[in-house]
Amino acid sequence: MSLAPALLEILACPEDKGALYYLKAESLLYNPRLQRSYAIRDDIPVMLIDESTTVDADEHGRLMAVIGDAGIAPTFS
């Protein structure tokens, strides 16, 4: 199952309030500005800063490549 389009249109990073990228295959939302990912568990985004994961430069590069290769758009613009 995937997140509803209406939900994706309003999801923002709880820290910087910016748009996120939804990586469905990896069950996460990603904020490249802060290099932080938010897990999606049981089709529910876990949007708590304390439960987010800060990724290193290699993982950031990999996620950005996935986003670019798949043409993933941000949750809003």
Residue 33 sits in a domain of what CATH number?
Answer: 2.20.25.10
Q: Which pLDDT value is given to residue 2? A: 87
Give me the domain span that covers residue 22: 5-70
Give the separation between CA 22 and CA 42, rounded to whole angstroms.
15
Q: Is residue 43 part of a domain?
A: yes
Q: Has residue 11 been placed in a domain?
A: yes
Q: How confident is the model at residue 14 (pLDDT cuts 50, 70, 90)?
A: very high
Give the residue from 10, 35, 11, 38 showing the smallest Cα distance to 23.
38
**pTM metric for this prediction:** 0.94
Continuous segment of H or E residues that includes residue 65: helix 57-70
Predicted confidence at residue 72, as pLDDT, reads: 97
Whether 30 is covered by a domain: the verdict is: yes
**Residue 66 reports pLDDT greater than 80:** yes
pLDDT at 77 over 90: no
Q: How many domains does the chain have?
A: 1
Mean pLDDT of 62-75: 97
Q: Is residue 76 part of a domain?
A: no
